[in-house]
A and B are shown apart, each in its own frame.
Chain A
Amino acid sequence: MVNKSKLPTAALVPPTQSSGSFRFVLEGALQAATLHQVWKESMHQVAAVPSGQGLILDASKVSYCDAAGIALIVAVEEALKKQGSPFELIGLDARYHRLLEQFTDRTFAQESSSKADCRHLAEVLGEGVVNLSKDAFALVSFVGELIIAVLWAIFHPRQLRWRDVFLTCENVGANALPIVALISFLIGLIIAFQAAIPLRQFGAQNFVADLVAVSLVRELGPLMTAIILAGRSGAAFAAEIGTMKVNEEINALTTMGLQPVRFLVVARVVSAVVMMPVLTIFSLLFGLIGGGIVYLSLGFSLVLYCHQLVGALDLADLAGGLFKGAVFGLLVAAVGCFRGLQTEIGASAVGLSTTRAVVSGITLIVIADGIFSVSFYLLGI
């Protein structure tokens, strides 16, 4: 009868005069949940059998034996084989014996392949270079595809999926407004406050307004907005497209004759490029409000603040800032989609793509910002 409740035990009986073999007696219910103690003891005791000495495994008192129990018997046999000792199994109930018989060839018991072997530095380095060049190649071909798809969209505006564009615009733009407003407001506040202290030493506190205006409009407004975009939407694009890739939805699109880039990427890039300048304007507005609060609290009037702003900025500054914003939007959206399309198989792959989308997005933003600074300077803007 099957009795699953009796805890298993193992005992090693040394050889007697009549039989020259060790006897190893297993008793009770061998099952995964309660087997660990017996397993350890068995391995210990089997190791104590002198090599060449035979061992008889007596399983006649085993009341129940699941596949984990069978594994124990197999493990004992394997260990003995390594020691070169003969092994004999007696008394195992017929129905458990039938389970054991399924494991007569022991190919599975081999150690797993040496996949995680230590690798040579040159190998790692070489692989890195190859991966980098593959990545660069993929990026170039993606940019090419994207340009073609965008041109196609410009010439066939009716065939663009406008519903997707508007939906993405809402996600990228309208839904990002609260966080953009909050961050920009605080940045404006902080810059003004930090600037007020050193400027007071020169008696130039009313130039706080100029400083806030120029740094926000030319630099920080577009930059902060783009970084928020990378964290919110760049990551979302990569995750959406990556999940589609994992579910073979991208393959489905391709076999339906739809180009993934045209179908998925164009709408997202267009929305990001359209919404970034709008978000940047809001960012500037809230940043200037934040700076203004500090300015007013220094004892100046609102009229003076506005006067200083108008004096410090011209339309070219604003246009430059908004243009930067649009370019950042393009970079973030494109690289987000690119990383999404690069997603490999498995659930962790989507997480990896998302991370890479944000990292690449921010890197590209900073590189582009540097290029803008130099070229604006050379162009005298």
Chain B
Amino acid sequence: MTNAAKSLIEVSGLSVVYGDYTVLKEVSFEVTAGEVFVILGGSGCGKSTLLKHMIGLYQPASGRVVIDGDDIVAREARDREAILRKIGVMYQSGALFGSMTLLENVSLPLEEFTQLDAAAIQLIARMKLKLVGLEKFADYMPAEISGGMQKRAAIARAMALDPSILFLDEPSAGLDPVTSAELDALIKNLAQNLGITFVVVTHELPSIFAIADRVIMLDKSTKGIVATGDPRVLKDQHEAPAVRRFFNREAA
């Protein structure tokens, strides 16, 4: 990676509290421009929570999230919109708009935020759907396709405006191995060719080894990061047995 040292996202001292239950305590890390950054951890350890705070959806109890030089926590709603334009998000459940076809779902951000004419938007949206292998289902409603297809459509929608950062919450969960591998290839392709930075939450070990440049692993008991680095290195060399077990898929 050329001039890779530049950090694009900076999270410092982030604490998240729901009611009186602390989910994350003083979490700090950086994401470098152009890398595929993976957040791991057991179920319920706060991965989705961390992701939602990184995109400024919720207000943290304390801490800062800086995206490309802009503090997303401190910003007014209007400024935040400009930051949000740089990012695309795929939610864990897809969150496609149920009353629109897939094509309309993907076209929506293009219609709202660009001045392209209808034919151009159609073509771009269809190409995005083609990228995720759903070109034949452009006119289907989200409820008429399977869960895995919904996820892929949600990724297409997140990519509609070609954001420089894509946040994906468990993109390959519930996909068959072939589709999942294709998705990994797509992520790798976009990262290398377009320089898109990815922040991905995933459990799938093959995916992690295929795409991740760097990972952080969250832990429920310490409410913070227990391991950080290249998964291929962590797998054999991390000092905590729990981390090695995760990467080697062993029971405790």
Contacts and interface: CB of A to CB of B under 8 A. Distances in A.
A71 B130 contact: no
A371 interface: no
A195 to B, nearest CB: 49
A33 interface: yes
Nearest to B138: A112
Nearest to B124: A71
Given A108-B126, A348-B98, A35 B159 contact: no
A221 B127 CA distance: 61
Interface stretch (A94-102, A127-135, A154-162, A270-278): A94-102
Contacts of B142: 346
Nearest to B115: A36
Contacts of B110: 32
A98 B117 contact: no
A288 to B, nearest CB: 47
Contact of A103 (B114, B127, B143, B160): B127
Contact of B194 (A71, A99, A345): A99
Given A67-B124, A99-B193, A108-B127, A346 B114 contact: no
Given A67-B124, A71-B120, A346-B141, A2 B135 contact: no
A112 B120 contact: no
Interface string B60-88: 00000000000000000000000001000
Contact of A115 (B126, B128, B139): B139
Contact of B103 (A33, A71, A112, A246): A112
B41 to A, nearest CB: 27
Given A32-B114, A95-B193, A68 B98 contact: no
Interface string B119-155: 1101110111111000110110111100000000000
A70 interface: yes
Nearest to A347: B98
Interface residues of A, number: 34
Given A96-B193, A102-B131, A75 B123 contact: yes
A71 B141 contact: no
Interface string A155-199: 000000000000000000000000000000000000000000000
Given A31-B162, A95-B193, A67 B114 contact: no
Interface string A86-121: 000000000110110011000111001101000000
Contact of A109 (B123, B141, B161): B123
B113 interface: yes
B127 A345 contact: no
A109 B98 contact: no
Nearest to B193: A95
B189 interface: yes
A25 interface: no
A36 B126 contact: no
Nearest to B126: A108
Interface residues of B, number: 39
A109 B114 contact: no
B123 A71 contact: yes
A70 B126 CA distance: 12
Interface residues of B: mostly helix, strand, loop or mixed?
A: helix
B130 A345 contact: no
Contacts of A35: 114, 116, 120
Contacts of A249: none
Contact of B120 (A75, A98, A108, A113): A75
Nearest to A94: B193
B99 interface: yes
Given A98-B189, A102-B130, A107-B135, A345 B120 contact: no
Contact of A347 (B99, B159, B160, B195): B99
Contacts of A40: 117
A66 interface: yes
A74 interface: yes
A39 interface: yes
A103 B117 contact: no
Contacts of A348: 98-99
Nearest to B161: A32
Contacts of B193: 95-96, 98-99
Interface string A305-328: 000000000000000000000000
A183 B107 CA distance: 47
Nearest to B99: A348
When A and B form their complex, which 8 residue pairs have the shortest distance between CB atoms, in order from nearest?
A: A345-B143, A66-B162, A108-B135, A348-B99, A347-B98, A36-B115, A95-B193, A346-B98
16 contacts: A2-B195, A32-B114, A32-B124, A32-B162, A67-B124, A67-B128, A67-B194, A68-B114, A72-B120, A75-B120, A102-B189, A103-B130, A107-B135, A347-B99, A348-B98, A348-B99
